[in-house]
A = this chain, B = another copy of it.
Amino acid sequence: MVLEIHTEIRETGPDRYATLIDGGWAIGSSLNGGYLQLPVVRAVLAAEGHPHPVAVTTDFLTAPHAGEAEIVVERLRTGKTVGTSRATLIQDGQPVLVSSVVTSTLDSSNPDVDLAPPIELPSPDQCTRIRSDVMPGTQLGLMDHVDVRLAPEFANLLRGRPDGSMALRGWARMVDGRDPDPLVCLLAADAFPPVTFTIGRYGWAPTVQLTTYLRVLPAPGWLRAELRGRVLASGWFDEDCTIRDSAGRLVAQSRQIARIPRVPVPTEN
């Protein structure tokens, strides 16, 4: 399986790459964190030689803007089976984000053990697609690239009716119909609304640190996702995302810590 190209990178020197940040992959004016990781992980794979990301942790430092950016890769461990690199996305001379990327080779076979619960969902046709114009006054450009569909009971969120569950379930795939790969999984893990929507906090939830593990190569077709937040404390909330492929295999797990949105603005009541 070949990794699809989602975001071009161009080598400019040893372990240095140039990329172009596309302003379309945004929620309102904020570029999506899942998207921003893709050129960075691609740069690490190009620099290192292992075929797949296994663990990616990103610290988001400052908001980038559309346009040119540079990626600097530092190879920290170059083992035969496992590599570890750090990569920094730089714009206007400032670090925008820093990722720790563990690389190795993912199997395309089934996991040897899978004790996570299944993700039960009605078919994509019976779910509610999040369209880029669903929130008045806020353009969700990301949703023109990723087709995200929420289970029917969660569609109430889009009408400002929180259920307090801190949980969301839904489908994701690329709008162009392309089959998923580990980079699409990285993207899908950060493409859903924050679970704080379910407790009536509809504001922007700035992710500070995001970790995604990639477990096996995904089968073609839709990805199904379950998001779950557990604790709000000290101004922060956590959010886990579990992703299964069309064959039901667990392909990715993510966890992030983010600031609790300050602005609880329901769109209707």
Contacts and interface: CB of A to CB of B under 8 A. Distances in A.
A250 B234 contact: no
Interface string A95-113: 1001010101111001111
Overall SS of chain A's interface: strand
Given A54-B236, A115-B229, A209-B211, 20 more contacts: A55-B209, A55-B257, A57-B57, A82-B208, A86-B86, A102-B257, A107-B233, A110-B233, A111-B233, A112-B233, A115-B166, A115-B231, A116-B230, A213-B257, A216-B233, A231-B250, A231-B253, A233-B250, A253-B255, A255-B255
Q: How many copies does the complex hold?
A: 2
A132 interface: no
A252 B201 CA distance: 23
B84 A208 contact: yes
A114 to B, nearest CB: 5
Interface of A: 54-55, 57, 59, 61-62, 76-77, 81-82, 84, 86, 95, 98, 100, 102, 104-107, 110-116, 166, 199, 208-209, 211, 213, 215-216, 229-238, 250, 253, 255, 257, 259
A107 B209 contact: no
A199 B111 CA distance: 15
A91 B238 CA distance: 34
Contacts of A216: 233-234
B77 A111 contact: no
Given A55-B257, A86-B98, A211-B211, A235 B104 contact: yes
27 contacts: A54-B234, A55-B208, A57-B57, A59-B76, A61-B76, A62-B77, A76-B95, A81-B235, A82-B208, A82-B259, A84-B209, A104-B236, A107-B234, A110-B233, A111-B233, A112-B232, A113-B232, A114-B230, A114-B231, A115-B229, A116-B231, A211-B211, A211-B255, A215-B233, A230-B253, A231-B253, A233-B250
